[in-house]
Amino acid sequence: MHTQEQSVRNERGEWFPDHPVTLAPINNWPLNVATVTKWFVGFPGYLWPYNALWFLMAALTWVFLTPSLESMQTLELRWVAIILVRNLALVTLVFGGLHAYLYIFRRQGDELRFSTRGPEVNARRFWFQNQTRDNVFFTLASAAPIATAYEVATYWVFANGYLGWFSLDGSPVLFWGWFVLLVLAAPVVHTFHFYAGHRLLHVPALYRRFHALHHRNVEVGPWSGLAMHPVEHAIYLSTFLVQWLVALHPLNVLFQLQLALFLPALSHSGFQKLKVGKRLEVDGGCYFHYLHHKYFECNYGGSLIPLDRWFGTFHDGTPEGHQAMKARLRAMRVESKAV
């Protein structure tokens, strides 16, 4: 299944990393403090660049692109429209920009690309017979509006004092300490929520009705990340509700929501790493999720928390991992027939 040289592809145009998929070092016991520390603060690692950049985007969005909280005490079309237009623009910038970089201008060529087949055209299973157009439609017509609805509800309840159980005036140290802790925990919250919702959507009845739309994308690209049925968008983006229970400030909720909104662009890029220039390479953990699109019944979560390992659905990309997945699926079929 693997090739040892990164420049070699099989006869179907598929490229595989020459090493197994690895989980974050916090999952290796006993913990190696030096390794975990390097991963947490190093580059690339937990903080840099992704989570820091996503938080910077959330902070800039809150400060410069969001109406004042006081003005959002009453639901009005004006400020709701501002947030919708802003979200449409940000999604287009992130997803469209990455698509243009990788697939239109081909700044990385086929280097570290999992498959050279690319997005499908003249494919009848897509509404517009074109994979990219189909994906753009569902992203902009469903994902962005649903994210906006969640965001609008968040600001309204915060503005009217229904959320935010502790103010800065009470204890700045406690406030900012808890604020920072929630920021650091947001990617972990996202991982748990994504795995739970994703497994739910693979229940056969829900899969056929809703999640199958996303899995039309066997060969993925950035726009396929949020190409989902509106019901799946409602489930997937609801991760912000966790922050409703504990957040002190709307920015915590916005960061949690934007993580869910923007992370799929890179995880569905179709490339193992994003290369910028000759030196900068950023690993997006893309192969982990690419295997899910290829085989469906594995790698439901992410590499940050070992939920797939715990529940026996982990595929590390090796021939041994592939055989283990097939054995698990055979056992499931035998068990279902016995029932």
Q: Mean pLDDT per 10-residue run, the chain (339 residues)?
A: 54 88 91 95 89 97 97 98 98 97 94 91 93 98 98 96 71 87 97 97 97 95 97 98 91 97 95 84 82 94 95 94 93 79
| pLDDT for res 18 | 85
User: What type of residue is 79?
Assistant: W
Every domain of the chain and the residues it spans? 32-300
- The dihedral built from the CA positions of residue 17, 105, 220 and 184, taken in this order, carries a sign that is positive
The confidence score (pLDDT) of residue 125 equals 93
The predicted pLDDT at position 2 comes to 40
Residue type, 75: L
pLDDT for residue 1: 41
**Please, is 177 exposed, middle or buried when counting C-beta atoms within 10 Å of its C-beta (0-12, 13-18, 19+)?**
exposed
- The dihedral of CA 59, 63, 65, 69: what is its sign? positive
- Length of the chain equals 339
What is the pLDDT at residue 174? 84
d(CA 321, CA 20): 9
